[in-house]
């Protein structure tokens, strides 16, 4: 057989070889040169599951858990696996109809696809989850219960100081350098936020294999790369939860604040800000429902007035001034002044509430009767001290003392966003009065007003300094961290003794403390029923309260302020109370403080005192202008959104004919809806500085 | 008895059988790697006929039986009945039309009982035999165009029937028989023209039609200018060049759009275009899917190829090891037991594994060519080349599609892909070759 075209057999072989080399080249490219496919395969198939540890628990001084973790359940559904489920029974258990069932299934499919579980009903009530759990065998195909950890507050108190846990926002995510991911939970305010690193514990990571439909099918490499989560550590605090409950009860329906400190340690025993809210209202699914409402409430329930409310110190500052005067040598315990109802040393007289002769014959009397003349004069003596040559240097010296007493700067409490208060710098007065001012210009600083603003926490802290005769510890909540190690440096700042004013002599302190004792015995607080066996040293304060209502600067009822510590020897508690619109310091703030002391030091209240507690708790001192301000804020916001969206539905409920008759405010000046008041718009957001227009006497 | 055995064994090419057994073993292992789940009892499920690797194992037993039967057959049987087989194959192909069952969009499968049978697969053997028979006829003068056309018709007519069954991929296999004709003296011009047309079609897909037309015109003008002296002397040349230019533009302007609009299935055009990273421009029936895909997140047409490339690429140099590939174990690659089985090897054994497999295939092909060249009989030689061509086409297209060098055409990898018909068909192809080779001293017609 002749062999034709045999050379072509070689061409064919070369064709085979070249083709295979081309394929091998592509394989070399895919498998060896290009490294991206390994990562792609891993992304495809390995799911990095973050395991969240349970958050740490916060205990009070008697080791009662103020807040705790509970487990609630979400009913989850995997749509593709649902088959043969008794839909009617499930609907009955969940109290929904079949149309709702179908709608929820559709939502689940749209949200996460058919093959991945989605929540069918979230945060089941305990009764419902119990009933579901019993019947779960009937719905096992496609449905399951997933547990979810939730914060609960068994005593229903301490909302402001504890703070709340919420989803992280974009700011937190950006600041955390990728540590937090959208959807993570973190402490958003209060102790929860300040001690976030300790409370959150350490997250665990599980690597899981997923298949082509994103279903998780098991651990990756038998869990070789997994790290276990570490639960958050508990915090032991100085808080007395029973005292806190009492304080919150008495603050009900009032605007103001109560702060109680332990002078020996700076520990915060109680911190209340009114109006407050139940911390359970911001836990879990309740958050969404309530938070928006609270933010828009003009009475600002979310604002912690104990550290953010700025009030004139008023007369509560007078003991401090007496100490400064004594230490500077411009006052002696025997210093006195003849006061007939006002101080006439400057052009404008400074009024005094007492007129009778001899109420300011010496320092103790002056403190006991809160003589404005005496302390106006004392302030002038301090800043006009010839030792400093001129008023500015004298003032700078005074301010130095004030800062040492903890006024005018942040104390550094273990809560976020504390306010400074205001002790103006010399330069501030230079700026306002164009360098031309003297001790008469700001003489009312001597009675705790002018530009002076303080927070309730600062008042309480200054009481600690007086009680301790010169030293203090930075006010703080947390005494110990469970399993504390030297690496936990967060508490170091709170364990440092600040001996800021120990150079003031003990006799000076004794004089002033004696004056404060006299306040409760013969002075401004003598009508407050005594606590038997306990000597209380106190100072009342009354701050005038002005507010612009409908364009008119209106004088409203005074704020009631009270600062005290007890017992006189070896003080165990220092308290500052502010009740807005409460009248005299001894009207509401004083009795509240006395009840607190009785409760804390005797561990109980006498029967008649319990009635007094109820009387205080039932008294409503909410400012009368609030409903109108709320209406203005709401209508102005409605106008804003109407302008933005052109949707008149926003305005509808503010049309006159739609306002129910009982909700119309007939006493106040007629509101004018649909007009944007600038101040009304501002009132929609809680402001740090509330009621700047206040005066003290 | 002894004598019989000796006569079967005599002349049988051991290396081919060894390669065959090796490949089938690799195949069953790969299928095992895909379908085995932790906790399955290996041995019992291997014989249970419930899992895919077990089924493939039984298919292999059947294939072995068929192969042994063929080896026992007289080699004269094959040239003698070649035309008959061809007729049987065509009839089977035609039977598909009334009796087909619809499986995965193809209409090429006949089902009886629990078994599926794909005549287009089996028909390859028939065509191989018939073509060899025709080419080896004494009165066939393959230098004549008429003979070439008849040979081409023998190879291509089953392909046309298969296209009608919406199995374009399988139909393409029949074009591999041009390799046999090339070996037997088909003018190289035919192949060159064929390649040119293929190149032109691809260029049409890649390049903008107008630019391509201008480019073709420019080339034609350049050719005329370079050959201006000959053109002056010979007007026929000018006409030829203009005709070629006309045909090219015609293909580019009309034939290709016609092909893509009316002959190829929509998924096929999409696969082809996705290979070039383009959207399908011939999708002139914007149905609801297209409307919904205005925001389509991923190109679904190249999902297979992307996942397949990820699987192979993630294998690296040495691979993740058997049963450890995440891509293939968790169903990211569709059809990975059948058409995309190469991914399993790529992911599990890496570059080392894939090159070794390619080397085994290359040795097989070279061995078949070597066997072909030692045949005295033209029939045997043609048949051997047919087998080599079919194997070569399957391997190349299958591997190329898994690594993204060819569009996704559903054809199996010989001896490795899961599937009874394919395994048995390839076994028959190889067994007949071994039988013919064993009797290479005889002259067959």
Both tokens of residue A158? 């301490």
* Partner-chain contact A23 B403, CB within 8 Å: yes
Query: Tens of pLDDT along A146-169?
Result: 777 788 898 989 899 999 988 888
Say yes or no for a CB contact (<8 Å) between B346 and A210: no
CA nearest to B346 within chain A: A31
CB A546 within 8 A of CB A581: no
> What 3 state SS string does A231-287 have?
CCCCEEECCCHHHHHHHHHHCCCCCEEEEEEECCCCEEEEEEEECCCCHHHHCCCHH
Q: What is the pLDDT of residue A303?
A: 92
Q: Which residues of B touch A14 (CB under 8 A)?
A: none
User: Which residues numbered 324-353 in B keep a CB inside 8 Å of some CB on A?
Assistant: 326-327, 330-332, 346-347, 350-351
Query: In this predicted model, what pLDDT tens digit does every residue of B124-153 receive, in sequence order?
Result: 899 999 999 998 888 777 878 888 888 889
Which pLDDT value is given to residue B104? 58
Which residues, at least 6 apart from B244, have a Cβ–Cβ distance to it below 8 Å?
A: B220
A225 shares contact with chain B (CB less than 8 Å): no
The answer to whether the CB atoms of B327 and A13 lie below 8 A apart is no
Residue (of A271, A278, A279) closest to A166 by Cα position:
A279
Q: Please report the pLDDT score of residue B444 as a whole number.
A: 53
Nearest to A90 by CA among A56, A124, A48: A124
* Category of A686 on φ-ψ map: left (φ > 0), alpha (ψ -120 to 50) or beta: beta
* N-to-C CA span, chain A: 132
Phi, psi of A404 (to 5 degrees): -65, -35
Q: Is B79 on the interface with A (CB under 8 A)?
A: no
B443 CB within 8 Å of a chain A CB: yes
* B318 φ, ψ (degrees, to nearest 5): -110, -5
C-alpha–C-alpha distance, residues A655 and A639, integer Å: 12
| CA nearest to A462, candidates A315, A364, A591 | A315
Contact across the interface for B314 and A209, Cβ inside 8 Å:
no
Is the distance from CB of A544 to CB of A350 less than 8 angstroms? no
Q: What's the pLDDT tens digit per position in A651-662?
A: 877 776 555 555
Sign of CA dihedral A433, A436, A439, A441: negative
Using a CB-CB cut-off of 8 Å, the residues of chain A touching B316 are 31-32, 38
Query: Residue A23 and residue B361: Cβ atoms within 8 Å?
Result: no
Residue A562 has pLDDT above 70, yes or no: yes
Q: Determine whether the interchain pair A42/B326 forms a contact, defined as Cβ–Cβ distance below 8 Å.
A: yes
Dist. CA A9–CA B374, nearest whole Å: 11
CA atoms within 13 Å, Cβ hemisphere of A363: 26
Q: Check residue B1 and give its pLDDT.
A: 36
Q: What pLDDT does residue B235 have?
A: 80
- Quick one: pLDDT at residue A478? 93
Q: Using the beta-carbon criterion (under 8 Å), do B327 and A44 form an inter-chain contact?
A: yes
Contact: A31, B316; criterion CB under 8 Å: yes
Q: Which helix (H) or strand (E) holds A481?
A: strand A478-481
Q: What pLDDT does residue B430 have?
A: 94
Chain B residues with CB inside 8 Å of A45's CB?
Answer: 326-327, 330, 332
pTM of the entire predicted model: 0.63
Residue of B314, B400, B405 to mutate when probing chain A, most A C-beta within 10 A = B314
pLDDT top residue among A8 and B206: A8
User: How far is CA A221 from each of CA A50, A225, B324, rounded to the nearest angstrom?
Assistant: 17, 8, 9
Residue A50: is the preceding peptide bond cis (ω within 30°)?
no
A22 has a chain B CB within 8 A of its CB: yes
CB contact (8 A) between residue A27 and residue B404: no
- Residues on chain A touching B177 (C-beta within 8 angstroms): none
Please judge whether A210 and B362 are an interchain contact, meaning their C-beta atoms are less than 8 angstroms apart: no
Q: In this complex, do A23 and B331 lie within 8 Å of one another by their Cβ atoms?
A: no
Best residue of A4, A6, A16 to probe chain B, by most B CBs closer than 10 Å = A16
Q: A376 near A364, Cβ under 8 Å?
A: no
Could you tell me if A28 lies within 8 Å of chain B, comparing CB atoms? Answer: yes
Answer yes or no: is pLDDT of A3 > 60: no
The answer to whether B195 faces chain A, any CB pair under 8 Å, is: no
Name the closest residue on chain B to residue A1, using Cα atoms: B376
Cis upstream peptide for A567 (omega within 30°): yes
Q: What are the residue ranges in chain B where pLDDT is below 50?
A: 1-6, 285-299, 445
| Tens digit of each residue's pLDDT (9 = 90 or more) over A35-93 | 777 777 777 777 777 777 888 999 999 999 998 888 878 888 888 878 777 888 888 88
* Residues facing residue A563 across a β-bridge: A539, A576
Q: Above pLDDT 70, what percent of chain A?
A: 93
Nearest CA in chain A to B142: A4
* Cβ-based neighbours of A350, under 8 Å, separated by 6 or more: A342, A343, A372, A373, A376, A443, A444, A447
Question: pLDDT at residue A549 above 90?
Answer: no
Q: Which of residues 43-62 of A touch B (CB under 8 A)?
A: 44-46
Residues of B in contact with A211 (CB under 8 A): 330-332
ipTM comes to: 0.84
A:B CB pairs within 8 Å: 117
What are the chain A neighbours of B347 within 8 Å (beta carbons)? 41
* Count of residues making up chain B: 445
Domains of chain A, CATH where assigned: 49-236 (3.90.1310.10), 626-696 (no CATH)
Q: Which has the higher per-residue pLDDT, A112 or A382? A: A382
B221 CA: distance to closest CA in chain A (Å): 33
**Six token digits for residue A311:** 């009030």
Where are any strands of DSSP class E within A162-240? 165-167, 185-187, 204-210, 216-219, 235-237
Query: Cβ contacts (< 8 Å) between B396 and chain A: which residues?
Result: 19, 23
- Mean pLDDT confidence for A275-299: 86
Chain B window 282-301: which residues touch A at a Cβ cutoff of 8 Å? none
pLDDT of residue B443: 59
Strand partners, A148: A72
- Using a CB-CB cut-off of 8 Å, the residues of chain A touching B184 are 4-5
From residue A401, alpha-carbon distances to A376, A383, A407, A507 in Å are 17, 12, 9, 18
Cβ of A9 and B443 within 8 Å? Answer: no
Check CB contact of A20 with chain B, cutoff 8 Å. Answer: yes
Chain B CB contacts of A27 below 8 Å: 312, 346, 351, 354-355, 358, 403
C-alpha distance from A247 to closest chain B C-alpha (Å): 58
**What does B289-337 look like in DSSP terms, one character per residue?**
HHHHGGG-SS-GGGHHHHHHHHHHHHTTTT-S-TT--HHHHTT-STTTT
Contact B330 A210 (CB under 8 A): yes
Q: Given this model, what pLDDT does residue A565 score?
A: 95
pLDDT of residue A695: 44
- Whether B323 has its CB under 8 Å from any CB of chain A: the answer is no
What local confidence, expressed as pLDDT, does residue A686 receive? 46
Confidence of residue A171 (pLDDT cuts 50, 70, 90): confident
Interface test with B, best of A25, A30, A45 (most B CBs within 10 A): A30
Residue A692 has pLDDT above 50, yes or no: no
Burial class (CB in 10 A: 0-12, 13-18, 19+), B383: buried
Instruction: List the single residue in A with minimal CA-CA distance to B186.
Output: A5
User: Distance between CA atoms of A540 and A563, rounded to whole angstroms?
Assistant: 6
Q: Inter-chain contact B313–A36, Cβ cutoff 8 Å?
A: yes
- Report pLDDT for A59: 93
CA–CA gap between residue B152 and residue B149 (Å, rounded): 5
Q: What pLDDT does B300 receive? A: 53
For residue A690, pLDDT beyond 50: no
Question: What's the rounded mean pLDDT across residues A455-480?
Answer: 94
Residue of A nearest to B350 (CA): A31
Three-state DSSP class for residue A569? coil
Contact A362, A335 (CB under 8 A): yes
Q: Tell me: the pLDDT tens digits for B88-138?
A: 999 988 888 877 766 655 667 777 766 777 888 888 899 999 999 998 888
Lowest mean pLDDT among A347-361, A602-616, B56-70: A347-361
Mean pLDDT of all residues belonging to chain A: 85
Q: Are strands A58-59 and A235-237 parallel, antiparallel or unpaired?
A: parallel
- Number of C-beta neighbours around residue A39 at 10 A: 12
pLDDT of residue A257: 95
Residue-level pLDDT at A244: 94
**A40 min Cα distance to partner chain B (Å):** 7
pLDDT attached to residue B392: 94
A31–B contact, CB cutoff 8 A: yes
């Amino acid at each position: 057989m002749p062999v034709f075209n045999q050379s072509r057999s070689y061409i064919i072989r070369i064709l085979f070889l070249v083709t295979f080399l081309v394929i091998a080249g592509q394989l070399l490219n895919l498998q060896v040169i290009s490294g991206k496919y390994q990562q792609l395969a891993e992304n495809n198939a390995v799911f990095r599951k973050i395991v969240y540890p349970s958050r740490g628990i916060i205990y009070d001084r008697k080791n009662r858990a103020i807040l705790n973790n509970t487990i609630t359940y979400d009913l989850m559904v995997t749509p593709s696996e649902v088959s043969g489920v008794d839909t009617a029974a499930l609907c009955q258990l969940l109290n929904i109809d079949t149309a709702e069932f179908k709608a929820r299934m559709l939502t689940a499919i749209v949200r996460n696809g058919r093959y991945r579980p989605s929540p069918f009903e979230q945060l089941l009530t305990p009764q419902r989850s119990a009933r579901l759990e019993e019947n779960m065998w009937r719905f096992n195909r496609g449905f399951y219960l997933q547990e979810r950890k939730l914060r609960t507050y068994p005593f229903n108190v301490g909302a402001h100081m504890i703070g709340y846990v919420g989803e992280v926002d974009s700011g937190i995510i950006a600041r955390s350098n990728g540590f937090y991911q959208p959807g993570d939970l973190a402490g958003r305010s209060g102790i929860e936020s300040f001690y976030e690193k300790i409370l959150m514990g350490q997250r665990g990571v599980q690597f899981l294999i997923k298949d082509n439909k994103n279903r998780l099918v098991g651990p990756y490499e038998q869990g070789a790369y997994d790290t276990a989560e570490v639960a958050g550590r508990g915090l032991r605090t100085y808080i007395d939860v029973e005292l806190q409950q009492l304080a919150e009860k008495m603050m009900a329906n009032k605007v103001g604040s109560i702060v109680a400190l332990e002078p020996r340690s700076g520990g915060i025993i109680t911190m209340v800000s009114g109006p407050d809210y139940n911390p359970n209202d911001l836990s879990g699914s309740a958050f969404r429902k309530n938070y928006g409402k609270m933010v828009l409430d003009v009475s600002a329930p979310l604002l912690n007035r104990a550290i953010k409310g700025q009030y004139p110190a008023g007369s509560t500052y007078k003991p401090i001034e007496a100490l400064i005067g004594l230490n500077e040598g411009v006052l002696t315990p025997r210093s006195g002044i003849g006061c007939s109802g006002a101080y006439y040393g400057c052009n404008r007289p400074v009024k005094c509430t007492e007129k009778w002769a001899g109420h300011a014959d010496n320092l103790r009397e002056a403190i006991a009767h809160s003589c404005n003349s005496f302390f106006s004069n004392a302030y002038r003596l301090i800043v006009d001290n010839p030792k400093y040559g001129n008023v500015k240097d004298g003032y700078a010296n005074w301010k130095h003392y004030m800062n040492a007493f903890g006024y005018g700067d942040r104390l550094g409490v273990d809560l976020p966003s504390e306010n400074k208060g205001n002790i103006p710098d010399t330069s501030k007065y230079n700026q306002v009065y164009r360098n031309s001012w003297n001790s008469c210009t700001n003489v009312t600083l001597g009675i705790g007003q002018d530009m002076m603003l303080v927070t309730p926490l600062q008042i309480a802290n200054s009481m600690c300094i007086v009680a301790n005769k010169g030293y203090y510890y930075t006010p703080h909540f947390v005494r110990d961290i469970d399993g504390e190690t030297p690496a936990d440096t967060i508490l170091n700042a709170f364990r440092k003794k600040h001996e800021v004013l120990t150079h003031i002599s003990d006799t000076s302190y004794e004089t002033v403390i004696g004056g404060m004792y006299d306040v409760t015995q013969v002075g401004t607080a003598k009508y407050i029923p005594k606590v038997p066996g306990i000597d209380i040293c106190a100072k009342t304060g009354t701050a005038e309260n002005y507010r612009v209502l409908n364009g008119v600067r209106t004088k409203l009822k005074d704020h009631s302020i009270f600062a005290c510590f007890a017992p006189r020897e070896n003080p165990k508690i220092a308290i500052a109370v502010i009740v807005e619109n409460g009248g005299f310091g001894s009207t509401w703030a004083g009795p509240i403080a006395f009840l607190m002391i009785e409760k804390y030091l005797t561990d109980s209240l006498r029967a008649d005192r319990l009635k007094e507690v109820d009387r205080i708790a039932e008294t409503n001192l909410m400012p009368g202008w609030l409903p109108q301000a709320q209406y203005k804020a709401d209508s102005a916001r409605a106008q804003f959104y109407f302008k933005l969206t052109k949707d008149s539905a926003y305005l509808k409920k503010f049309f006159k004919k739609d306002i129910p008759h009982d909700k119309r405010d007939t006493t106040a000046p007629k509101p004018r809806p649909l007009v944007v008041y600038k101040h009304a718009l501002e009132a929609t957001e809680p402001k740090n500085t509330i009621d700047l227009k206040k005066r003290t006497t | 008895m002894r004598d019989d055995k000796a006569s079967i064994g005599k002349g049988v090419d051991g290396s081919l059988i060894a390669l065959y057994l090796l490949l089938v073993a690799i195949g069953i292992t790969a299928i095992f790697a895909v379908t085995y789940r932790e906790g399955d009892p290996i041995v019992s499920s291997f014989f249970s006929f419930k899992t895919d690797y077990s089924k493939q194992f039984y298919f292999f037993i059947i294939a072995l039986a068929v192969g042994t039967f063929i080896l026992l057959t007289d080699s004269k049987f094959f040239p003698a009945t070649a035309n008959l087989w061809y007729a049987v194959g065509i009839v089977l192909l035609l039977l598909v039309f009334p009796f087909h069952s619809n499986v995965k969009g193809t209409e090429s499968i006949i089902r009886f009982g629990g078994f599926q049978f794909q005549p287009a697969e089996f028909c390859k053997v028939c065509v191989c035999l018939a073509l060899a028979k025709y080419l080896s006829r004494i009165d066939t003068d393959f230098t004549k165009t008429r003979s070439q056309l008849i040979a081409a018709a023998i190879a291509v007519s089953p392909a046309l029937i298969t296209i009608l069954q919406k199995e374009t991929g399988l139909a393409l296999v029949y074009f591999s028989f041009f390799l046999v004709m090339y070996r037997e003296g088909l003018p190289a011009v035919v192949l060159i023209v064929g390649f040119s047309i293929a190149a032109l079609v691809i260029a049409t897909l890649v390049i903008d039609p107008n630019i391509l037309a201008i480019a073709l015109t420019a080339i034609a003008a350049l050719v005329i200018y370079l050959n201006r002296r000959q053109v002056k002397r010979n007007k026929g040349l000018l006409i030829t060049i203009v005709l070629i230019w006309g045909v090219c533009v015609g293909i580019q302007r009309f034939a290709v759009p016609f092909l893509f609009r009316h002959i190829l299935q929509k998924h096929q055009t999409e696969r082809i275009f996705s290979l070039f990273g383009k959207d399908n421009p011939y999708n002139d029936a914007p149905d609801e899917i297209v409307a919904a895909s205005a925001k389509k997140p991923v190109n679904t047409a190249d999902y297979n190829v992307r996942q397949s490339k990820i699987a192979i690429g993630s294998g690296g140099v040495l691979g993740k090891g058997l049963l450890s590939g995440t891509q293939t174990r968790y169903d990211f690659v569709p059809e990975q037991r059948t058409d995309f089985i190469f991914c399993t090897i790529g992911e599990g054994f890496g570059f080392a594994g894939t090159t070794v497999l390619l080397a085994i295939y290359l040795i097989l092909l070279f061995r078949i060519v070597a066997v072909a060249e030692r045949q005295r009989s033209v029939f045997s030689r043609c048949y051997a080349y047919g087998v080599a061509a079919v194997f070569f086409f399957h391997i190349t297209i299958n591997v190329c599609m898994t690594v993204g060098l060819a569009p996704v055409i559903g054809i199996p990898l010989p001896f490795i892909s899961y599937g009874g018909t394919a395994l048995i068909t390839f076994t028959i192809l190889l067994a007949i070759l071994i039988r013919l080779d064993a009797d290479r001293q005889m002259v067959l017609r």
